[in-house]
Structure 1
Amino acid sequence: MASVDVCYLRNAAGLYGEGLGYATPESAGMDLRACFDEDEIIIRPGERAEVPSGVSVEPRVPGVAGFIYSRSGLGAVKGLVVAQGVGVVDADYRGEIVVWLLNTSDRPILVERGERVAQLVFQPVCRLEPRTVESLSETTRGSGGFGHTGRA
């Protein structure tokens, strides 16, 4: 089985119990936890907050990177989502994973130290070499923009 090396920072190991891992045998992502110095923070409506995870990682599989996704319960129920949509953890990044959360609700949201705030999913990455050309091939869609196809 492929593996990822995990380094626990700032006494984060206690927050992760047996370590960073999957909640169930079929989970796609590993839960990242809030690892800030305070007991809790409040994220007001429309505000973003920097939430350190207390971990850094090194994927042991070439061509794989980490992607940070919102937890469905936090996003759908509370309105707390990963601020940039999806965060990218490049395979050669060795710093602490920091999750930027955005409160999309109309009320303040309390985040407690140790709370699961996002999930880390490892996925293959396809790197393509840019090649300058004079034009691109024709398609049925062409250069039509957003909504151009008229399909919902």
Structure 2
Amino acid sequence: MPSSSVSIALRWLEHGQGLPLPARQTAGAAGMDLVAALAPGADMVLPPGGRGVVPCGFAMALPIGFEAQVRPRSGLAVKFGVTVLNAPGTIDADYRGEVMVPLINLGAEDFVVQRGDRIAQMVIAAVQPAEFRLEETLDETERGDKGFGSTGHRRG
């Protein structure tokens, strides 16, 4: 169990005023729900195959060493075929603009997004800085260069 939480500064934008803060729905949840900050009555209709960027109405300042991952909500994906277009999307620690979620409707019917709808989830994650070093050879492993299903799958 983590010993402490990460403190993140958040600033509401005018069109986000009155909406709930990003929040976990249960004590064990990893993701915090993001809600649509559309104007009241200004619904966004995503037709089958349609895409749209949904504003969340806030900007934030992640601490250096962290990122926010924007991920689909499983209920929207299973029930309606709606998912985050670039899942998982990354919000970098140096970004100070509005948090926005690109959605795509992979379902067979129009999907309507309204103000306050829970549209995605956001997970805060530590980022490990990395640097590449050039080598002529790499160490050997049992798997080697086998990929794309080489470790098996449940159907034959």
For 1:52 and 1:95, the matched residues in 2 are separated by 11
- The structure 2 residue matched to 1:104, chosen from 106, 112, 118, is 106
Are 1:51 and 2:54 matched, yes or no?
yes
Aligned-pair CA distance for 1:151: 4.2
Find the residue that maps to 1:77 and give its secondary structure. helix
The gaps in structure 1 that reach 5 residues or longer are none
Question: Could you tell me how far 1:20 is from its partner in structure 2?
Answer: 3.1
1:69: how far off? Answer: 0.8
Deviations 1:64-122 (A, max 9, x none): 21000111111111111111121101111111111000111111111112211011110
Q: Residue by residue, what CA displacement relative to the aligned partner does 1:22-75 show, whole Å, maximum 9, x if unpaired?
A: 333333222111113462011011121111111111124x42210001111111
State which drifts further: 114-123 or 34-43.
34-43
Shift of the 56–137 alpha-carbon distance from structure 1 to 2, 3 Å rule, reads same
What is the match of residue 115 of structure 2?
Answer: 113
Aligned residue pairs: how many? Answer: 149
Mapped partners of 2:148, 2:70: distance in 1: 26
Q: Distance in 2 between matches of 1:25 and 1:150?
A: 35
Aligned residue for 2:125? 123
Contact between 2:13 and 2:57, CA under 8 Å: does it hold in 1? yes
Aligned to 2:17: 13
TM-score scaled to structure 2, two decimals? Answer: 0.86
- Is the 2:44–2:112 Cα contact (8 Å) retained in structure 1? yes
Following superposition, the deviation at residue 126 of structure 1 comes to 1.5
RMSD: 1.7
